[in-house]
Structure formats: C-alpha cells, structure tokens
Amino acid sequence: MILTKAFATISPKSPLGPFQFERRSPRENDVVIDVAYCGVCHSDIHQARDEWGNSIYPMVPGHEIVGTVSQVGKGVSYFNVGDTVGVGCLVDSCRECPACHESLEQYCEHGMVGTYNSMERDGHTPTYGGYSNKIVVREEFVLKVDPSLNLAAVAPLLCAGITTYSPLRHWNVTQGKKVGIVGLGGLGHMGVKFSKALGAQTVVFTTSESKRKDAERLGAHQVVLSTRSDEMESQNNSFDFILDTVSAPHDVNPYLQLLKRDGQMVLVGVPTQPLTVAPTNLILSRKSLAGSLIGGIKETQEMLDFCAKHKIVSDIEIIPIQKINEAYERVIRSDVKYRFVIDMNSL
C-alpha cells in the first residue's frame, strides 16, 4: 500500500483539513502519479458540501490533476516513469458497454467511476481525488500532457477544458460558424478560447459590463450584455450554436430566439432549479436544446493535443492547499479569474 497525504472533509459542514490514507499498490495495469497541481472545480464544493445529495465521507476532492509518473505496473506499455501526465473526472468504467466501446466512457451504461466521491468497480472501495500527493490510476484513464506548457494552467483543462471542448467538437463548430458563449467564468473562458481557436465567430453573453475587456482579451469578437433587450434582439436568428455555461438559475428562452433555423443550444452548466422552455422557441425553427457532460478519454487526449498545438491553457490563480477553504468561499463569490489551482508541493 502507498501512504498518501491529502486534504479531506469529513462531513458537509466541515472544512477541509489534513488527512492520510493508503492508496493501493500498483496492479499490473496501474500508473502511480506524483501530483504536482490540482485544479479547484465548483463541483468540488457541491460535493464536499453534499449539495447534490450523493456525498461519501471522508472525501478527498479534486479531478483536474497534473503530475509525474513515479511507478508503473508490469503490464503498462504507454507510460514510463518521468512522463508528465494528467487525470480528469473519471478513473474507470465498465469498458464493455456500447458507450465505452465508442470511447464515450463518461456515458458508461453501468456508471463511470469518478476520480473522487465514487466507488471502484468492486462496489465498496471509495475513490479519493487529487487534493493529495499521489494517485494510482489504470493506464487506460491516464492522459499524456505536453511538458512544455504551463502545467499548473493545464490542470483545469481536465474538467473545465474538456467540458467545453466536447460539445464544440460534437456539434461541429468550425470556421465560418457563429457561436455564442453564455457566461464568462471557469467554463465560459475556456469556451471562448476553444471557439476562437476552432475558427468560429465568437460572441460572449454576460450580465456584467466589467467583463467586456476580458472577454475581448480571451478572443471574443463581440460582447453582448444579456440584460439589454436591444442588444439581445439585434442578435436574433443569427447563431449556429450557443454554449450555455451558467450554473445559476436563468431564462434560456431569450437565447433560443437567437439561434438560426436548425441551430443548437447546449447546456454544460448545472442550474439548481429546472429550466422552463417555451416549446415554440424550438418548434418553429427546428432548433435543439441539448446537454453535454465531459468527454471520454480519447476526446480528452485530443483536447490536450489541440491545446498543445494552439498554446491554450486556463487563466489561473495558484494557491497552497492550506488556502483551500478560503478559495471555496471565493469561488462562490466568483472572486477568481478564472480557476484556482492548488500547488500540491505545499501539502
């Protein structure tokens, strides 16, 4: 067994604090990773505080992991000691269902194994995430990372990055398309970068005038204040695709009106209240409202390679692990541009 240092929470109302546990010794197909950086995702907060009602304690959050391979099982063929690697939101799946055979492990019909707050395939061993100094993962769920990139800023690509990249690729966003990004936060800022790099005309929708300059810096061709009806109406029937990254309750109908015939609006944020949709906003112009999760391992590797080619990383603020509880409160206040990343050397 591998003695592992971490930060964990033991109940919904407990702060995160030092925690030790044992990782399994590497099996034949396992990779042992020394964790260098771990991003802080808003879903870490939801799950640490049991806001989704499925939390397992004690909990070591973290699913945006970048580190170095320190040991490999004897059956591992794709990774070597010293490789720079990443681990995202899942560490296993059934590997047998139709979704898994199509490299869509995130939609595994028997349930993917989350990097934390989940159970291993044995049904009783809890998974612990990247707020730790080491992690042990099956080779098939480890990703190669270009070591020339800013590795701390790569970490959020493993969730925020793939969450926005996957729908843009699935719905074939390419040069010549007009794309709207709703919200400019941890997800939205990555959506802007990817949309621009894919060649699309990229428009950011925000409720805050103060975000205009930042949206333009990130690559937006235009910024629309969604609180201004005249600005919204000027965009009617002009978008091929809209990516909605907002997790706060909001009205999606004004955005549906902006789509062209056969346009798509895709949700990647998770509002806490059900959305109300006027059917005519879909029916009259054959528009679609859909949702998207993360990506499978193959697509996540594609995304990382795309980022290496285009020099895309997240905008981050690095913190020591001892600042994690403060960081959670700042995330809730939207007081970060745009993702926190923990320097795990501080553990």
Examine the fold and report which residue of 253, 269, 291 is the final residue of a domain before the chain moves on: 291
Which residues, in sequence order, are CB contacts of 155 under 8 Å at separation 6+?
37, 38, 39, 64, 65, 66, 86, 314, 316, 339, 341
Give pLDDT tens digits for 143-154.
999 999 999 999
**189 and 336 both lie in a single domain:** no
Q: Centre a 10 Å sphere on the Cβ of residue 149 and count the other Cβ atoms it contains.
A: 18
CATH code assigned at 65:
3.90.180.10
pLDDT tens column, 288-343: 999 999 999 999 999 999 999 999 999 999 999 999 999 999 999 999 999 999 99
Each residue's pLDDT tens digit, 101-117:
999 999 999 999 999 99
Which CATH number do you get for residue 250?
3.40.50.720
Alpha carbons within 13 angstroms on the beta-carbon side of residue 250 total 19
Given 291, 316, 338, the domain boundary residue is: 291
* Domain shared by 104 and 8, yes or no: yes
Domain count for the chain: 2
pLDDT number for residue 273: 87
Q: Are residues 45 and 140 in the same domain?
A: yes
Q: Based on the fold, state whether residues 11 and 111 are members of the same structural domain.
A: yes
Identify the pLDDT of residue 174: 97
Residue 272 is predicted with a pLDDT of 81
DSSP-assigned letter for residue 164: H
Same-domain pairing of 243 and 282:
yes
- Range of the structural domain that residue 98 is part of: 2-159+295-346
pTM: 0.96
User: CA dist 129 to 160, 225, 299, Å?
Assistant: 16, 38, 21
The DSSP letter of residue 132 is B
Contact 268, 142 (CB under 8 A): no
Same domain membership, residue 189 and residue 150: no
Q: 49 and 155 share a domain?
A: yes
Enumerate the H helices of 83-147 as residue ranges. 98-101
Counting as low any pLDDT under 70, the low residues of the chain are none
DSSP β-ladder status, 2-8 and 17-23: antiparallel
Instruction: Tell me, yes or no, whether 98 and 241 share the same domain.
Output: no
Q: Are residues 274 and 285 in the same domain?
A: yes
- SS3 breakdown of the chain: % helix, strand, coil, rounded to 5? 30, 30, 45
The Cα-based distances of 48 to 91, 204, 295 in angstroms read 19, 31, 23
Confirm if 312 and 194 have CB atoms less than 8 A apart.
yes
Cβ(181)–Cβ(189) below 8 Å: no
Q: CA 78 to CA 74: how far, in whole Å? A: 11
Same domain, 58 and 126: yes
Q: Which residues contact 99 (CB under 8 A, 6 or more apart)?
A: 105, 107, 108, 109
Mark whether 145 and 102 lie in a shared domain. yes
Same domain, 179 and 238: yes
Give the relative orientation of helices 188-197 and 297-310 as an angle to the nearest 10 degrees: 70
